[in-house]
Structure 1
Amino acid sequence: MTSQDVSDAPTVAPRVLADRVARGDDVAIVDLRNRDEVDEWRIDGPNVTVEQVPYSRFVQAQVTGDVADLVADVPEPLVVVCAAGEASAEVANALAEAGVDAVHLEAGMEGWARLITSVETETSAGTIVQYDRPSSGCLSYLLVSGDEAVVVDPLRAFTDRYARDASDRNADIAYAIDTHVHADHVSGVRDVARGTDAQPVLPEGARERGLTYGARPLAAGETLAFGDAAVRAVGLPGHTSEMTGLEFGDAVLVGDSVFVDGVARPDLEAQFDDDPEARALDLAERLHRTITEQLCSLPPTTRLFPGHRSPDAPRADDGTFSTTVADVHDTLDAVGRDRAAFVDAVLSESPPPKNYRRIVDVNLGRESIDDETAFELELGPNNCAVN
């Protein structure tokens, strides 16, 4: 397009757009990236529509004066999106000059990926702060009791945020815990520990998967005291062999076992096995036992806080992405309560998280990478659920 000044292009900040999506507003996106990029990863939500229009078409239309025609079927106001916010600023400017109510997403999809939001809720043991990364649906947690806190499933890209939020609540971080070896994002456990006095903690089974760095092993049934409360480890194998939930008062952080509207996939760890099909089958059967024999045996009103959420996942009344044991019964009926039906459903083919093999190696300590490489590795959807 032309070399016009785009510094005054109409803009929307990622946080403002995320608020609109979270409220369920109608949001119309015009995405300038290539079709394969949009198909793989896009801004999504219950009332979000995405129209892919290549940037090159706007370049051509700028010459002919037909810019507005390219979005004639897109409801206004619309949000123009690109990879980093430069092309979208040009297009939003051109559309605005043509009389179209259009803004561009500040910093593009890169800015979207650098956003994390939070919401707070109370349990019988203390406060849960739930963090949501809208670009991937990854959920992480800060548990606060008295003058101490615990971080659960922290993302490396946001380690400063957890420490700052704990400090704002006059709490020191005692432990940084991963519920399992993540395959969709780079863990921030070691970074949180380095930046605070927190002790890094991973499930005991992580050592069997090849963990190379020093972390306190956490076995099912163990408790970690902090502040005026404690978390109790609950073995929830299935998504991975070492998956461990954390009971915190009348709530349970369930990692990647069940979600608001689905269950975990059991095949990712299996891809590292000599016989991946047999290993995936074994993990699928273990996931079925975890859900039917452990989670479904808890009181129906028990609140469950997952490690991920889908773009269309509804929020609970307290604003969190959480579910209850009663809702898990409904999910199980939809997926298949019978073991054979359940296993068949969760082993249906779906694409794995992008770069998952390398991310697992990083999270086990087999490979060291810088912050920018870590950020780039985890761009895209998490793909850890069967919805």
Structure 2
Amino acid sequence: MSEKEAEAPAVDAAELAAWQREGRAFTVLDVRNRDEFEAWHVDAAEAVQIAHQQFIAARAKGTTEELIPDGPEPILVVCGVGEASAEVADQLRETGVDARNLAGGMDAWAREYEAVELLFSGGTLLQYQRPSSGCLGYLLVSGDEAAVIDPLRAFADRYAEDAAAHGATIQYAIDTHVHADHVSGVRAVAAATGARVTLPAGASERGVGFEPDRLLADGETLSVGDAVLETIELPGHTPEGVGFRIADEEHGDVLLAGDTLFLDAVARPDLAVEGGAVEAMARALHGSLSKLLNLPDGTRVAPGHVASATSADGAGRYVATVGDLRERHGLLSLREDEFVERVTGSLPERPANDEQIIRINSGTETVDDETALDLELGPNNCAAR
């Protein structure tokens, strides 16, 4: 039996994430039902859906070759938990195709969460990456203190473990804004560690139904060991959105930009407001981006989201300098009216269950952990291009 005819090798979620970061060519074959695929699937340049039942019928008829996707090999076969996809991958390998199975399926993909270290002379700065949704979060460690920025509830235990591994305890659990695409972990982290829940000052005007320990307004600072986070008001994605600048003379300051500025897109302005207020938010976003473009060229932008098509740097980090973004990011060169027209005219579908997720993050609705995870599955759709 040839190598391709042998049992299909398994690709785990971490390896798939590496494929995406490296920009590797491959084809996703999703054998779930069509509605499941359309709601959420592994994002790849080539992704097709052919239901498992069609492969069962093709095996009986001897027509498996007719179902082979046209895209580049390897073909990564995907289902919900990795069982039906393993059968299909084996079936495809019998035809000589380089087919592989995503171990654990979409369930494992949803739970994949990785950390890479950003250059930072004042301690340790980790960038957390959730490749299934593109969500990025951060852990800042300086001395024996730590802060987590934009944590996810599904991974609340992870942050405390990583802080402890660096000899620190989490002092602050911070959100840059009221998120619409994922369930925030600030209160879960606080409950587990005693960290202080910290939100932008404008969050109170969004109707937050709990009392944060700290509200940060424009220009206010937060000390974490010897590191200092400087709050920068950045309305546009939401009215209350902020970013945090962390000084670093050796490697260049870091700007944790939240959902305001991405490496190849900008925030969408319509998730917190409706009607005519969307245009006003888009104008506010243009002003916030102009503020960021006035930062020194060497300032490193670390965004709150990344698209699967965005390539990481050689160390697996999603970060770019203000100078680089100014040169390569077409939306940043538009005049205000052009920018507003472009951004408001190119809005994708809203994130899945966004209104309910906002209520949960605002503290006006409560759900259990499993429900919270199910609600946020799917593309984040927080960007405009």
TM surpasses 0.5:
yes
* Superposed counterparts of 1:322-337, under 5 Å: 322-330=319-327, 333-334=330-331, 337=334
1:34-45 counterparts in 2 under 5 A? 34-45=33-44
Q: 2:384 aligns with which of 380, 383, 386?
A: 386
Give the match for residue 220 of structure 2.
Answer: 222
Counterpart of 2:266 in structure 1 is: 263
Q: Which moved further from structure 2: 88-97 or 145-154?
A: 88-97
CA distance in 1, matches of 2:320, 2:119: 15
Q: Percent identity?
A: 48
Query: Aligned in 2, Cα 1:97/1:314: closer, same or farther, shift over 3 Å?
Result: closer
Answer yes or no: is the 8 Å Cα contact 2:118–2:125 preserved in 1.
Answer: yes
The answer for the alignment partner of 1:236 in structure 2 is: 234
Hey, what does 1:203 align to over in structure 2? 200
What is the aligned partner in structure 2 of residue 373 from structure 1? 371
Whole-Å separation in 2 of the counterparts to 1:72 and 1:208 = 51
Find the aligned partners of 1:296 and 1:142 in 2 and give their Cα distance.
25
Residue matched to 2:250: none
**Per-residue CA distance 1:278-309 (angstroms, 9 max, x = gap):** 211111111111111x1111111111111001
CA distance in 1, matches of 2:85, 2:146: 41
Tell me if 1:33 matches 2:36: no
- Of the candidates 282, 293, 297, which is equivalent to residue 284 of structure 1? 282
Q: Using the alignment, how far apart are the partners of 1:27 and 1:382 within structure 2?
A: 23
Q: Is the 8 A contact 1:262 1:331 kept in 2?
A: no
Query: Quick check: 1:344 aligned with 2:347?
Result: no
Deviates more, 1:145-154 or 1:59-68: 59-68
TM-score normalised by length of structure 2: 0.92
* Pairing 1:81–2:84 present: no
Q: CA deviation at 1:314?
A: 2.4
Structure 1 pair 100–178 and aligned structure 2 pair: CA distance change class (3 A): same
- 1:222 Cα deviation after fit: 1.2
Corresponding residue number in structure 1 for 2:4: none
Structure 2 runs not aligned, ≥5 long? 1-6, 248-252
Show the counterpart of 1:273: none
RMSD: 1.8
Distance 1:160 1:353 in 2: 25
After alignment, is 329-338 or 180-189 more displaced? Answer: 329-338
In the alignment, which of 51, 56, 62 is matched to residue 54 of structure 1? 51
* CA deviation profile, 1:184-221 (whole Å, cap 9, x unmatched): 00000011111112111111111110111121211111
Tell me the amino acid that sits aligned with residue 370 of structure 1. D
Letter of the 1:235 counterpart:
E
Map of 1:114 onto structure 2: 111
| 1:253 corresponds to which of 238, 247, 256 | 256
Mapped to 2, the partners of 1:72 and 1:222 lie a distance apart of 54
Q: Is the 8 A contact 2:21 2:311 kept in 1?
A: no
| Residues 21 and 310 in structure 2, CA contact (< 8 A), matched pair in contact too | no
Length, aligned pairs only: 372
Q: CA deviation at 1:79?
A: 1.3
Comparing 145-154 with 35-44, which one deviates more in the overlay?
A: 35-44
Superposed displacement of residue 386, structure 1: 1.0
Paired with 1:307 and 1:203, the residues of 2 have a C-alpha distance of 15
1:373 shift after superposition: 0.5
